[in-house]
Amino acid sequence: MNGFTAVWRFENFSYYWQKEDGAEINSPEFQVNAIPGARWKLKLFGTIHGFRMEDSIGLCLQRAEVDDGPDCLVLDIEIAFLVSGRSLVHTAERFLTNFRKRDSSDAVYAMKDDVLCLMRDAFLPQDVLTVRCRMWELDSPVMEEEQCLARTIIGIERAFFVGIVENANSLVPGLKTVVHINSASTDKLSFSMTIRLTDEGKFAAEITVHYQFIKLFTAKVMILDSFRNWKLCGQSVDWKKSGEVCEFPLTVLFETLVSDKRLYLPKGVMTLKCEVAFSTEAEPDRIETIDYGFDVCHSMQWKASNVENANSLQSIARDSESSGTLKSDLIALYKDRTLCDAKLCTENETFLAHKAVLCARSPVFKTMFTSDMREKTDECVNIPDLEDDTVRRMLHFLYTDTIEDLQWEDAKDLYFAADKYEIFSLKQKCSSFLKHNLQTSNCCDLLLLADMHNDADLKTFVLDHIVIQNQQVFLSPEWETFMKDHIRLAAEAYSMYFKYGKT
In tens, the pLDDT along 78-124 reads 898 988 745 556 666 777 778 888 888 888 888 888 888 888 888 88
Within a domain: 194? yes
Domain, as residue range, for 267: 157-279
CA distance from start to end of the chain? 32
Per-residue confidence band for 71, with pLDDT thresholds at 50, 70 and 90: confident
495 and 360 both lie in a single domain: yes
Is pLDDT above 50 for 307? no
Same-domain check for residues 142 and 264: no
Pair 135, 266 in one domain: no
* Amino acid letter, residue 310: A
Q: Is the pLDDT of residue 144 over 70?
A: no
Split into its structural domains, the chain has a count of: 3
Q: Based on the fold, state whether residues 28 and 45 are members of the same structural domain.
A: yes
Please provide residue 246's backbone torsions phi and psi, each rounded to the nearest 5 degrees.
-100, 105
Of the ranges 258-267, 284-293, 321-330, the best mean pLDDT one: 258-267
Give the per-residue pLDDT at 490.
93
User: Looking at beta carbons, which pairs linking 432-435 to residues 24 or more positions away fall under 8 Å?
Assistant: 432/3, 432/142, 432/143, 432/144, 432/145, 433/141, 433/142, 433/143, 433/144, 433/403, 433/406, 434/408, 434/458, 435/3, 435/142, 435/145, 435/461
Q: Based on the fold, state whether residues 342 and 260 are members of the same structural domain.
A: no
* Residue pLDDT, tens place only, 371-385: 766 655 666 889 989
Dihedral sign from CA coordinates of 168, 170, 172, 173: positive
- Would residue 312 count as lying in a domain? no
Yes or no: say if 150 and 288 are a contact pair by the CB < 8 Å rule: yes
In a domain, 310, yes or no: no
Query: Is position 100 within any domain?
Result: yes
- Report whether pLDDT(332) > 60: yes
Tell me which of 120, 153, 186 is where a domain ends. 153
Q: Are 406 and 433 a contacting pair, CB within 8 Å? A: yes
- Report whether pLDDT(153) > 80: yes
Does 141 share its domain with 91? Answer: yes
Helices and strands, number each (H, E), in the chain: 17, 25
pLDDT confidence tier of residue 302, bands split at 50, 70 and 90? very low
- Predicted pLDDT of residue 216: 75
Give residue 139's pLDDT.
58
Check whether residue 370 and residue 440 sit in a common domain. Answer: yes
Q: 354 and 471, same structural domain?
A: yes
Residue 84 lies in a domain: yes
Identify whether residues 195 and 82 lie together within a single domain: no
pLDDT per position as a tens digit, 449-487: 999 999 988 998 888 888 877 888 999 999 999 999 999
| Domain membership flag for residue 298 | no
Does residue 74 share a domain with residue 23? yes
User: Last residue of a domain, which of 153, 183, 207?
Assistant: 153
Please report, for the domain that includes residue 84, its CATH number. Answer: 2.60.210.10
Residue 42, pLDDT above cutoff 50 = yes
For 18: left if phi > 0, alpha if psi spans -120 to 50, otherwise beta; the answer is alpha
Q: Widest CA span of the chain, in angstroms?
A: 93
Phi, psi of 482 (to 5 degrees): -60, -40
Would you state the pLDDT for residue 165?
94
The mean pLDDT of the chain is 81
Residue 315 inside a domain? The answer is no
Q: What is the 3-state secondary structure (H, E, C) of 323-391?
A: HHHHHHHHHHHHHHCCCCCEEEECCCCEEEECHHHHHHHCHHHHHHHHCCCHHHHHCEEECCCCCHHHH
- Mark which of 126, 153, 180 sits at the end of a domain: 153
Q: Is residue 240 part of a domain?
A: yes
* 128: β partners: 11
CATH number of the domain residue 420 falls in: 3.30.710.10
Whether residues 350 and 388 fall in one domain: yes
How many beta carbons lie within 10 A of that of residue 396, not counting itself? 15
Task: Please state the length of the chain.
Answer: 503
Least confident of 64-68, 71-75, 291-295, 397-401: 291-295
Concatenating the DSSP letter of every residue in 260-313 gives: THHHH-GGG-EEEEEEEEEEESSPPPEEEEEEEESSTTTT----GGGGGGTT-G
| Residues 93 and 236 grouped into a single domain | no
Q: What is the pTM of this model?
A: 0.57
Tell me, what's the pLDDT at 177? 94
Q: Residue 99's pLDDT is what? A: 85
Long-range contacts of 177-183 (CB under 8 A, 24+ apart): 179/272
